[in-house]
Structure 1
Amino acid sequence: MTIILIISILIILIVIFLSVLTVNKGYAYKHTIDPAPESDEYPDDSK
């Protein structure tokens, strides 16, 4: 019984560690966007 409990706790700790690692890696990802076009492709609607 004790061995099963220890193995279960180890598995839970490994899963929590991997979850935290994955979340931190996701937050550290640098998102990039394309720059806005500089041309008059979209003219002003101001009147």
Structure 2
Amino acid sequence: MKVIFIICIIIVIIVLLLSVLTTNKAYQYKHTVDPIKKPEYDDEEKEHHPSN
């Protein structure tokens, strides 16, 4: 019974360490955002566009 309990504790510690390492690596990742581009209208759409 003690052997099973020790094995379970070791597994829990390994899973906890892997979770912490993965979370730290995810927070260190630098995210980038693409700039928003204005929609381009062709001549037909410009005629029907409300801002004109």
CA drift at 1:32: 1.1
Unaligned runs of 5+ in 2: 40-52
Quick check: which has more Rg, 1 or 2?
2
Q: Which residue of 1 aligns with 2:26?
A: 26
Percent of aligned positions with the same letter in both sequences? 56
TM-score, normalized by length of structure 1? 0.69
Tell me which amino acid in the other structure corresponds to 1:16: L
Residue 11 (structure 2) pairs with residue 11 (structure 1): yes
Which 4+ stretches in 1 moved above 4 angstroms? none
Aligned residue pairs total 39
Structure 2 Cα separation of the partners of residues 11 and 34 of structure 1: 42
The RMSD of aligned alpha carbons is 1.6
Higher relative contact order, chain-length normalized (CA < 8 Å, sep 6+): 2
Is there any run of 5+ residues in structure 1 with no aligned partner, and where? 43-47
